[in-house]
Structure 1
Amino acid sequence: MKVMSERTDKELIKIVTIDRDKYNSLALKAAEREIEKRQIDTTTFQELKKKIDLEKSQKHNVNSNVVGSGIRFIHFIIDWTTWIIISFILSFMIGLVFNPSSLESIQIIVYFTFLAAFIGYYSIMELKYQKTLGKFITKTHVVKSDGTTPDSSDIVTRTFCRLIPFDRLSFLFVKNGIHDYLSKTKVIRD
């Protein structure tokens, strides 16, 4: 009874409907008593059951369409090359405009240009298209873990998490990398 009293209404409904076979009879009785105690309207069970089934189906669809490490490596190669080319072009253009005089000022310009190009490339592409050039080529895109379109904050988090050392190596060990995990996003097939 104590455990069931700590559950939300939605969790209780899920227990007595969808997940009924996962609980023993004592737990089910406790959940049903808690529902009676809270006077939860049982006429809404079917609506909630449909909603929960839909969420479960969406999550399954997302998880079954997540791309593997091989595709993610292709994304890395294409996007890294694109970022480097953009960075060199921007560095060259900034160098022409500001005409730096010392090696140190050239290094600073190049460093900040590369960083700005990195953040700009990933942020702009994924905010506007949910894709980078690599994802366009492989016909994949970024979604939230539940399959919905990521918010701006999700994409910004995802972009800055790419700067974490060893993020690129995380794909060797798990299907979703560090930047996917921390931003609660996934890359799936179109």
Structure 2
Amino acid sequence: MNSDFKDVMSKRTDEELIKIVTVDRNKYQPLAIESAEEEIKNRNIDNSKIEKLSAELTTKIEEKKIFDSKKISSLSRFIHFIVDTIVWFLIVAILTFSLNTNDDFQMLIGYLIFFSSYFIYYVFMETKYQKTVGKFITKTKVVKSNGTKPEFGDIVIRTFCRLIPFDRISFLFSQNGFHDRFSETTIIKDENN
């Protein structure tokens, strides 16, 4: 068994070994820790490098915990969906109010307005403000998974992914639904409010 751990640890990078013996120590069996420590000695990895990398890893873990604590609940996501759907339907109603439903050409225009307003609403609002009306109400915003502001392309992918069947209920099974997962975005509390 110990030789298995030695073989596994010999294939790890210096950074992975340091992470195993410092930050993630409680996640491994004692024999695995011993093998990792032995591999570090065999590679003559300097203690200053171990301390520096351990501090960097600890900082990253703390930053991730803080970021994850800002993520919102499925209930807030549901509120976004309801509010944004109402707003979108109001926009469609206003834009199509004067169209004649008996005229095929005007019906086509109505469908174009219906579908294009959906994309325009989400892409414009989330690109310009990082929010939709629903997110303004709940004081939240869309960000990349690393906490940075999403690019235009990220928002376009996010908007298209909202059309995936069952996207709206995917939040019942995980904190990030399909349109978050595929666009590598998430929703967090907006601390600027």
TM-score using structure 2 length: 0.79
1:91 is displaced (CA, Å) by 4.3
Provide closer, same or farther for how the CA distance between residues 38 and 104 of structure 1 changes in structure 2, counting only shifts above 3 A: farther
Out of 72, 78, 81, the position equivalent to 2:83 is 78
Match of 2:51 in 1: 46
Q: Unaligned regions of 5+ residues in structure 2, if any?
A: 1-5
Inter-CA distance 19–174: structure 2 relative to 1 (3 Å threshold): closer
Q: Deviations over 1:49-78 (max 9, x none)?
A: 222222212221222222212211211121
Q: What is the alpha-carbon distance in structure 2 between the residues aligned to residue 118 and residue 157 of structure 1?
A: 14
Aligned to 2:172: 172
| Aligned-pair CA distance for 1:149 | 2.9
SS at match of 2:131: coil
Aligned-partner Cα distance in 1 for 2:41–2:156: 45
Report matched runs for 1:1-150 at 5 Å: 1-36=6-41, 40-91=45-96, 103-150=103-150
Say which structure is richer in helix: 1
Shift in CA distance, 52/103, structure 1 to aligned 2, threshold 3 Å: farther
Label 1:26 to 1:131 Cα distance change in 2 as closer, same or farther (>3 A): same
User: What code does the residue aligned with 2:161 have?
Assistant: C
Of structures 1 and 2, the one with the larger relative CO (CA 8 A, separation 6+) is 1
CA RMSD of aligned residues (A): 2.7
CA distance in 2 between partners of 1:36 and 1:136 (Å): 54
Q: Which of 67-76 and 148-157 deviates more?
A: 148-157
**1:151 equivalent in structure 2:** 151
Letter in 1 for 2:71: V
Distance 1:135 1:83 in 2: 14
Relative to structure 1, the CA distance from residue 101 to residue 159 in structure 2 (aligned partners, 3 Å threshold; closer, same or farther) is: closer
Going from structure 1 to structure 2, the CA distance change for 1:128 and 1:7 (only over 3 Å counts) comes to farther
CA distance in 1, matches of 2:43, 2:124: 48
Secondary structure of 1:142's partner?
strand
Task: Verify the 8 A CA contact 2:171 2:177 in the aligned structure 1.
Answer: yes
Name the amino acid aligned to 1:103. D
Where does the alignment leave 5 or more consecutive residues of structure 1 unmatched? none
Structure 2: how far apart are the matches of 1:164 and 1:127?
Answer: 21
Separation (CA, whole Å) in 2 of partners of 1:14 and 1:132? 40
Once residues 11 and 153 of structure 2 are traced to their aligned partners in structure 1, the CA distance between those partners, rounded to angstroms, is 31
Change in CA separation of 1:85 and 1:41 when aligned onto 2, cut-off 3 Å: farther
Give 1:38 shift: 5.0
Counterpart of 2:76, as a letter, is I
Contact in 2 for aligned 1:59/1:147 (Cα 8 Å): no
AA in 2 matched with 1:107: M
